[in-house]
Structure 1
């Protein structure tokens, strides 16, 4: 992920690296809990920054303002499709995939 270095997200992750991401919508839910690390746009490896730019069609390194890349290492993943699947939704715990 990438965000403006002055954004609320950047400030929050800088103070508290434990994050929760909800993907992609409210029916097919993937809830990821993890640890975030921030990297200034000019300190990201070329390969990683190029991959980001290729995927999103935008290169933060070319912007006038400073940006941060954020890498999240998942610790717990919950996934479900609608209310009938709420039981058993934890599929990763402590960074380990569950069977």
Structure 2
């Protein structure tokens, strides 16, 4: 899975493995962490929600320039120096 955050100027590009959970199957500690961070618990809402856990394998980051040296800051799940 690839995620790009937050906008087109200051970019963080995550590439990793994704695992999806319904609001009924999500591990309790993960759902509690989400609720603690965002102050909202989808498990208490009507309707169904999907939780996505992404384990990053590669992280690239840059500001304003799409091809810069040093933009890969994680490779194969290990932070680079």
TM (norm. structure 1) is 0.71
Number of aligned positions between the proteins: 81
Match of 2:7 in 1: 25
Q: Secondary structure at the match of 1:50?
A: helix
Trace 1:1-99 onto structure 2 (pairs within 5 A): 19-83=1-65, 86-99=68-81
How far off its partner does 1:41 sit? 0.8
**Aligned-pair RMSD on alpha carbons?**
1.8
Secondary structure of 2:56's counterpart equals: strand
List alignment gaps of at least 5 residues for structure 2: none
Higher helix share: 1
* Distance of 1:91 and 1:51 partners within structure 2: 25
SS in 1 for 2:24: helix
Pairwise CA distance, 1:84: 8.1
- Gaps (5+ residues) in structure 1? 1-18
Structure 2: distance between partners of 1:78 and 1:45: 28
